[in-house]
Structure 1
Amino acid sequence: MKLMKAGVVPEVHAPWELRDVPMPEAGPHQVLVKIHACGICYTDSLLAEGVLNMRPFPLITGHEGVGEIVAVGEGVMTRKVGDRVGLPITQKACGRCEFCREHHPYSFVTANNCVAPVLTGVNVDGGQAEYVAVDELGTVLLPDGISYEMAAPTVCAGYTVWAALRRAAVQPGGSIAVVGIGGVGHLGVQFAKAAGYRVIAITHSEEKHALARELGADEVVSDGAGLKAVGGADALLHTAPSHGPAIDALKGLRPWGKIILMGISADDAFPLPALAITSHSYQVIGSAHNGPEFLAEALEIVARGDVTPMIEVFPKEKIGDAYQKLRNGELRFRAVIQY
């Protein structure tokens, strides 16, 4: 039996460890990917801490894996050895349930509505390993010119925010407010600026005001009153870890504006001001990746240098340290593990 190194979560709340585990092989319609880099996402923390319970421990997480195909299984038609690929979270749908019979493009909506989806790093082993075998449909080709380290966080965090921005569908010349300047929000500012919008960053952290301007924000404010004072926004991208700042930011949303929710917040309930929603004809929109074409677009934007994820790179031997920095809120802003 061949062995490989993998970042393993031994049990709930446990430190992450680098272990020797069996190396997978490519089965029918699968490709074997030599992982070069894999990001750590907040969703990985929810799995590791037992907030999301998708499979028994020990876990090999990672839905921001990127690498090179080194072998293909029987029946593979769309990928070949040598392809550089990313591994987004939705690997494969069951293809038989009521939802799948409608033939939707893969997205996180598929992950939540198919009765038996295969989710990379969630209910099957993911990219925090030297090798991973995945269905060929669960890969996306990486554009030339993008490094593995830049591609890794784009496969989830970049995908999330770009898909949300596209879902907002704000007219050219409009204004986008980004609530929260963290792992997702710092990308939201950059993607919105790259798309040509006027960008307002909303953060309570004074130390992030200068950073937000460096990232491309035209204005930086602390709350909804500040947003209203600088002219308001046509859409709010809600990237904060709790809902309070986004609810407050509605004070600065223009009439007929939209608030776009993405990701998973620590707060389950989202209390909306009913009078404001009704009297201003606001739209509240959920956004869950929305289709692989948006991931392809996000990767191209990063490849040409219009958006640069802020990352901290760790060797695989330091995966435990990387996860602890995430838990302590010490990252600026995404951890990427090299394999």
Structure 2
Amino acid sequence: MKFLHQLVFSSLAVLMISACSDGALKRRTAEGDFEYLDSKLSTAWKMPQDAELQLYHDYDIPAGNYQGALGEQVDIRPPQSVLTLIPGVRIDSGKNRIIFWTVKPQLADQIWHVIAQFLEQHQVARSQSSASMVETSWVTWAEEDEVSPVKTRYRYTRLQQKNQYGVQVSLVDMQHSGTEDEALYNQDRYTVMMANAITTSYDRQAQEDAARKSRQMAQQIAVAMGTDRSGLPVVIARTSYDNMWQRLSDSLSQVGFHIDGRNRSQGTIKAKFSQPDDEVWQSLGVKPISLDNRTYTLLLGDLGNRTSINITDGDDKPVAEEKLKEFAAALSALFQ
């Protein structure tokens, strides 16, 4: 649906469309000719003189006057349906209204918040507003398949029935240049379109929130002391080897380690340690790492969804456990 690209909101302005009426009609009208509308009834059936007429009423066409569009006036656009993009919501559709029902009051609050953001983002004026009801001024739609713009007004209402919480989207008024039949068809169509505008906005925000949380999880790495298979102390970071390799390489300089060389396949980083100023440790809220100013080797091990880190000195001997704890505390502060 091209709603977000084709919709123009305004309480005053009227969008003028030029040179597109023919295209809009083609998108709404069936192909081919409509000569069948001019067909005449054939002459009555004449029975042979000696034949006996047998009448069967299985296929009788009831008498009546058809009250609807014919031929090229028939709108062939498929009916709109509400997009089920909000988990935990039940859709209740009625005449010129859609209700989002949920048993979670916080979810109803979120939907109401999305509506408020949506109206603000698209600069939709409000004719009436309260804590549980919002009514809009005119909204102008510029759809590719409309011959001329359609203007609508909506009401959003908060509902509650026992342990269910609802948000209702209602079409309260419409201005349309078409026939009465077209107006009735469009009332349902534009009610659903506005409901879908809300559901797609909610879905987009949910995806953005999930992406942001994912980035935060990638940035926030839990670091603690542990032991390797031999029982020796190591630093354990709760993240994958690939992520830790990159994050550690980017972060070591902030705590006094200046990288001289790296070997990813072997999991080794050679770095020279120079004690930073006291302000560095104060900003991190941790004790200084009490290492000598010399070159060390950091050893990274792949533990699946975790990564082990150890530090050895120039003689390939592990540093003291207390110094490793200080290093772990510094990393933990960096990765929060």
TM range (shorter): under 0.3
Larger radius of gyration: 2
Greater RCO (Cα-Cα under 8 Å, separation 6 or more): 1
* Structure 2 length-normalised TM: 0.20
